[in-house]
Chains A and B, each alone.
Chain A
Amino acid sequence: MYYNEMLDGTKVREAYAGLSDWVDQMPAEIRQMKQAEAEALFRRIGITFAVYGEGGDPDRLIPFDMMPRIFTQSEWRRLERGIKQRARALNAFLRDVYGRGEIVRAGRIPARLVYQNDAYEKAVVGFVPPRGVYSHIIGIDLVRTGRDEFFVLEDNCRTPSGVSYMLENREIMMRMFPELFRGNRIEPVDGYPDLLRRTLETVAPAKCQGRPRVVILTPGHFNSAYYEHSFLANLMGVELVEGADLFVEGEFVYMRTTEGPKRVDVIYRRLDDAFIDPLTFRRDSMLGVPGLMDVYRSGGVSICSAPGAGVADDKAIYTFVPEMVRFYLGEEPILKNVDTWTLWKDDDFKYVMDNLGDLVVKEVHGSGGYGMLVGPRSTKAEIEEFRQRIKANPSNYIAQPTLSLSTCPTFVNEGVAPRHVDLRPFCLCGERIELVPGGLTRVALKEGSLVVNSSQGGGVKDTWVLSE
Chain B
Amino acid sequence: MRLKITHQTVYRYDAPVGFVVQSLRLTPSVFDGQKVIEWKVDIDGAEPGPGFRDGAGDWVQVWTMRGPVTEVPVRIEGVVETADLSGVLRGHREMIHPMVYLQSTDATAPDDALRALAEEPEADLSPLDLAHALSARVSEVIAYRPGVTHLNTTAAEALSLGEGVCQDHAHALIALARLRGLPARYVSGYLSADADGAEHEAAHAWAEIHVDGLGWVGFDAANRCCPDDRYVRTGSGLDARDAAPIRGVRASTGMRAEELDVTVAVEPVAP
Q: Could you tell me if A247 and B19 are in contact, using CB atoms closer than 8 angstroms?
A: yes
Q: How far is the CA of A297 from the CA of B53 in the complex (A)?
A: 9
Q: Could you tell me if B100 and A120 are in contact, using CB atoms closer than 8 angstroms?
A: yes
Q: Could you tell me if B60 and A115 are in contact, using CB atoms closer than 8 angstroms?
A: no
Q: How far is the CA of A294 from the CA of B49 in the complex (A)?
A: 8
Q: How far is the CA of A290 from the CA of B96 in the complex (A)?
A: 23
A111 within 8 A of B: yes
Contact of A279 among B52, B56, B249 (CB under 8 A): B249
Contact of B95 among A126, A249, A250, A280 (CB under 8 A): A126
Q: Could you tell me if A124 and B23 are in contact, using CB atoms closer than 8 angstroms?
A: no
Residues on B with beta carbons closer than 8 Å to the beta carbon of A112: 99
A122 within 8 A of B: yes
A132 within 8 A of B: no
Residues on A with beta carbons closer than 8 Å to the beta carbon of B54: 123, 125-126, 297
Q: Looking across the interface, which residue of chain B has its beta carbon closest to that of A294? A: B62
Q: How far is the CA of A247 from the CA of B21 in the complex (A)?
A: 9
A53 within 8 A of B: no
A369 within 8 A of B: no
Q: Looking across the interface, which residue of chain B has its beta carbon closest to that of A277? A: B23
Q: How far is the CA of A432 from the CA of B96 in the complex (A)?
A: 29
B162 within 8 A of A: no
Smallest CB–CB gap between B255 and chain A, Å? 15
**Contact string against B for A residues 88-126, beta-carbon threshold 8 Å, 1 for contact and 0 otherwise:** 000000000011110010000001101110001011111
B103 within 8 A of A: yes
B51 within 8 A of A: yes
Q: Looking across the interface, which residue of chain B has its beta carbon closest to that of A120? A: B100
Q: How far is the CA of A112 from the CA of B52 in the complex (A)?
A: 28
A251 with B50: in contact, given A124-B55, A294-B61 (CB under 8 Å)? yes
Q: How far is the CA of A300 from the CA of B52 in the complex (A)?
A: 11
Q: Among residues 263 to 311 in chain A, which have CB atoms less than 8 Å away from a CB atom of chain B?
A: 278-280, 283, 290-291, 294-295, 297-300
Residues on B with beta carbons closer than 8 Å to the beta carbon of A250: 47-49, 64
B247 within 8 A of A: yes
Residues on B with beta carbons closer than 8 Å to the beta carbon of A111: 97, 99
Interface residues on A, range: 35 or more
Q: Could you tell me if B55 and A290 are in contact, using CB atoms closer than 8 angstroms?
A: no
Residues on B with beta carbons closer than 8 Å to the beta carbon of A124: 55
**Contact string against B for A residues 334-356, beta-carbon threshold 8 Å, 1 for contact and 0 otherwise:** 00000000000000000000000
Contact of B55 among A122, A251, A279, A299 (CB under 8 A): A122
B80 within 8 A of A: no
Q: Could you tell me if B247 and A279 are in contact, using CB atoms closer than 8 angstroms?
A: yes
B102 within 8 A of A: yes
A279 with B100: in contact, given A247-B251, A251-B49 (CB under 8 Å)? no
Q: How far is the CA of A396 from the CA of B23 in the complex (A)?
A: 36
Residues on A with beta carbons closer than 8 Å to the beta carbon of B64: 247-250, 291
Residues on A with beta carbons closer than 8 Å to the beta carbon of B241: 283
Residues on A with beta carbons closer than 8 Å to the beta carbon of B47: 249-250
Q: How far is the CA of A294 from the CA of B241 in the complex (A)?
A: 16
B45 within 8 A of A: no
Most buried by A among B54, B60, B66, B251: B54
Smallest CB–CB gap between A38 and chain B, Å? 45
Q: Could you tell me if A122 and B51 are in contact, using CB atoms closer than 8 angstroms?
A: no
Q: Among residues 83 to 111 in chain B, which have CB atoms less than 8 Å away from a CB atom of chain A?
A: 95-97, 99-100, 102-103
Q: Could you tell me if A248 and B21 are in contact, using CB atoms closer than 8 angstroms?
A: yes
A300 with B49: in contact, given A99-B95, A111-B99, A279-B21 (CB under 8 Å)? yes
A22 within 8 A of B: no
Contact of A295 among B56, B62, B252 (CB under 8 A): B62
Q: How far is the CA of A126 from the CA of B96 in the complex (A)?
A: 8
Q: How far is the CA of A400 from the CA of B183 in the complex (A)?
A: 34
A320 within 8 A of B: no
A177 within 8 A of B: no
Q: How far is the CA of A278 from the CA of B23 in the complex (A)?
A: 11
Residues on A with beta carbons closer than 8 Å to the beta carbon of B68: none
Q: Looking across the interface, which residue of chain B has its beta carbon closest to that of A249? A: B64
Residues on A with beta carbons closer than 8 Å to the beta carbon of B55: 98, 122-127
Q: Looking across the interface, which residue of chain A has its beta carbon closest to that of B99? A: A115
Q: Could you tell me if A290 and B49 are in contact, using CB atoms closer than 8 angstroms?
A: no
Q: How far is the CA of A215 from the CA of B99 in the complex (A)?
A: 36
B16 within 8 A of A: no
A291 with B21: in contact, given A126-B55, A249-B66 (CB under 8 Å)? yes
Smallest CB–CB gap between A208 and chain B, Å? 15
Residues on B with beta carbons closer than 8 Å to the beta carbon of A279: 21, 23, 247-249
Q: Looking across the interface, which residue of chain A has its beta carbon closest to that of B49? A: A251
Residues on B with beta carbons closer than 8 Å to the beta carbon of A125: 54-56, 95-96
Q: Looking across the interface, which residue of chain A has its beta carbon closest to that of B20? A: A290
Q: How far is the CA of A79 from the CA of B19 in the complex (A)?
A: 49
Smallest CB–CB gap between A97 and chain B, Å? 9
Q: How far is the CA of A298 from the CA of B19 in the complex (A)?
A: 20
Residues on A with beta carbons closer than 8 Å to the beta carbon of B247: 279-280
Residues on A with beta carbons closer than 8 Å to the beta carbon of B49: 248, 250-251, 291, 294-295, 298, 300
Smallest CB–CB gap between A205 and chain B, Å? 12
Smallest CB–CB gap between A263 and chain B, Å? 14
Residues on B with beta carbons closer than 8 Å to the beta carbon of A114: 97
Residues on B with beta carbons closer than 8 Å to the beta carbon of A120: 100
Residues on A with beta carbons closer than 8 Å to the beta carbon of B97: 101, 104, 111, 114-115
Residues on A with beta carbons closer than 8 Å to the beta carbon of B48: 250
Q: Among residues 186 to 217 in chain B, which have CB atoms less than 8 Å away from a CB atom of chain A?
A: none
Contact of B21 among A99, A100, A251, A290 (CB under 8 A): A290
Q: How far is the CA of A244 from the CA of B19 in the complex (A)?
A: 11
Q: How far is the CA of A254 from the CA of B18 in the complex (A)?
A: 15
Most buried by B among A114, A279, A294: A294
Residues on A with beta carbons closer than 8 Å to the beta carbon of B100: 115-116, 120, 122
**Contact string against B for A residues 239-264, beta-carbon threshold 8 Å, 1 for contact and 0 otherwise:** 00000100111110000000000000
Residues on A with beta carbons closer than 8 Å to the beta carbon of B60: 294, 297
Q: How far is the CA of A123 from the CA of B23 in the complex (A)?
A: 13
A-B contact sample (19 more), CB < 8 A, given A125-B95, A297-B54: A111-B97, A115-B99, A116-B103, A125-B56, A125-B96, A126-B96, A127-B55, A247-B251, A248-B62, A248-B64, A250-B64, A278-B249, A279-B23, A280-B23, A290-B249, A291-B64, A294-B23, A294-B52, A298-B52
What are 17 of the A-B contact pairs (CB < 8 Å)?
Answer: A99-B95, A101-B97, A122-B55, A122-B96, A127-B52, A247-B19, A250-B49, A283-B241, A291-B64, A294-B23, A294-B52, A294-B61, A297-B52, A298-B51, A298-B52, A298-B62, A299-B50
Interface, chain A (partner B; CB < 8 A): 98-101, 104, 111-112, 114-116, 120, 122-127, 244, 247-251, 278-280, 283, 290-291, 294-295, 297-300
The 4 closest A-B pairs by CB, nearest first: A125-B55, A294-B62, A115-B99, A126-B55
